[in-house]
Amino acid sequence: MSDLVTVAVLLRPLLGRRLLAVTEARYWYDDRPETGNSGLIHFWLHFEEMPAIMAHGCGDLLKLTEEEPYPSYDMQEEGRTVVGPVQPTDPLGEVVGQCLVDVGLVQGYSMVPAVGGIVLRFERSELLVAILADEWVCQPGSIPERLRQHLSLSGWVGTPSSTAERQ
């Protein structure tokens, strides 16, 4: 699901919960992982007492669903996809253990009002997760100036007057 209201409904119950773990699906070739955002295929956020939330990028749309991680798989000569815990030094790994305070809904580079990303606001940090032209943007902080022509903040899930709730 990628429309603003549906994503807000999915994410609102996560507010105030601790992120216990992040699982990633990463592309490997020649027994080495493709590092950085370019090797990231999917990821799952595991919050306390909640189902896993899978993040899937499609073009400029971020699709979020309640779904458990799938198993790793081999693609023969094309490499393999390895599913497992994210590295602690990865931006997704750096927020593990923190409570989620709010979620900003980010409008992507699309004519349809749809979610192109989210800003996860934790106790001690923020993390931007977005998809642009099938490429992940995953970095500390909010939307940087260089991406503001493609991404814009639509509102916050935890704020009653959020744009996401008015649509």
Q: What are the pLDDT digits (tens) for 42-100?
A: 999 999 999 999 999 988 889 999 999 999 999 988 889 999 999 999 999 999 999 99
Please tell me the pTM assigned to this model: 0.90
Please tell me the predicted confidence (pLDDT) of residue 102. Answer: 97
| 158: containing domain | 4-166
DSSP 8-47: HHHHGGGTT-BEEEEEEEEEEETTEE--SGGGEEEEEEEE
- ∠ CA(52), CA(57), CA(59), 5° rounding? 165
Q: Based on the structure, what is the number of domains in the chain?
A: 1
Return the SS3 of 7: helix
Whether pLDDT at 164 is above 70: no
Whole-number Å distance between alpha carbons of 35 and 97: 23
